[in-house]
Amino acid sequence: GETIDFWSRSGVHVLLTKEPQTVMSSASYGITDKNNPNYYSETIKLACRISLSGEYVHMADWNIPAQGHRNTSHGCVNVGPDNAKWFYNTFGVGDVVEVRNTPKNLPLTDGLGDWNVPWTQWT
């Protein structure tokens, strides 16, 4: 009965882990029935986790035509093979990744959210 949105969250994320490959599935949303049209279970390469709720920057070579044009992700930042390799090889754990222009904001409790607190609130 709960509505699920698959938007990446806008805000400052911090790279938490780097995985050469990982399995991503709709089970994280509670969808385990293979007959459900929202069901998925995929092995994903070059996965860089940027939130505790499961947002990643990762290779998504299956949807290159959609990248930069429409939302086809389940909350991740999908990139083509060359950009995925560059990101994976260039960014390290602790590096900042800013996601912009999505309709939802990253909650302060979803990763290292301190980066999303304005300086005026710290002082």
| DSSP summary character for residue 63 | G
Residue positions annotated with a catalytic role: 58, 76
SS3 at position 6: coil
Burial class (CB in 10 A: 0-12, 13-18, 19+), 71: middle
